[in-house]
Amino acid sequence: MTGLLITNVRELNLSMKNANNKFGTKPLKEVLKEVVAQRPLQKGVQNVRICNSWEEVMGTHIKQYTEQVRFSHKILYVSLRSAALRTELSYQLEMIKERLNDYLGEPFIRKVVLN
C-alpha cells in the first residue's frame, strides 16, 4: 500500500509540473511577438511601419507639407499640400524609393506616387 501511495504522489507531482509548464507565465515581450507574428496583424503593422518611414526618411520639413501617406499593393501614395514641393520631389522619386527601402531593410516599395 505504501508503494502505491508513493507512486501516486510522484505521478501527482509530475502532472503538476506539466500543468505549470502548460499554463506557465511568459514575458510580455514574448507574448507580443507571438501576437504580431500572426499573418493579418503582421501585415497591418508592416503597413504602418512603411507609412511612418516617409517621415523618418524625408524629415520634419517635408512632413509639414504632407497631408496623407498610405501604402497599397507595393505602392506608397503621398499627398502633398505644396505643388512646388511635389514637382521638386517628382524628379527624385527613384532615389526616394531606394532610401525608403534601405531604411526599411527590404524592398517593400515598388513605386512612390505623389498626389
Per the document, the length of the chain is 115
100, 109 Cβ separation under 8 angstroms: yes
**Confidence at residue 23, expressed as pLDDT on a 0 to 100 scale:** 63
Q: At 91, give phi and psi (nearest 5°).
A: -75, -10
In tens, the pLDDT along 57-104 reads 999 999 999 999 999 999 999 999 999 999 999 999 999 999 999 999
Q: At 74, give phi and psi (nearest 5°).
A: 65, 15
In tens, the pLDDT along 25-44 reads 888 888 888 877 776 777 88
Crossing angle between the packed helical segments 93-104 and 39-58, to the nearest 10 degrees: 130
What CATH code is assigned to 28-114?
Answer: 3.30.300
User: Domain locations in the chain?
Assistant: 28-114
**Confidence at residue 12, expressed as pLDDT on a 0 to 100 scale:** 54
Mean pLDDT of the chain: 85
For the chain, how big is the Rg over CA atoms in Å? 26
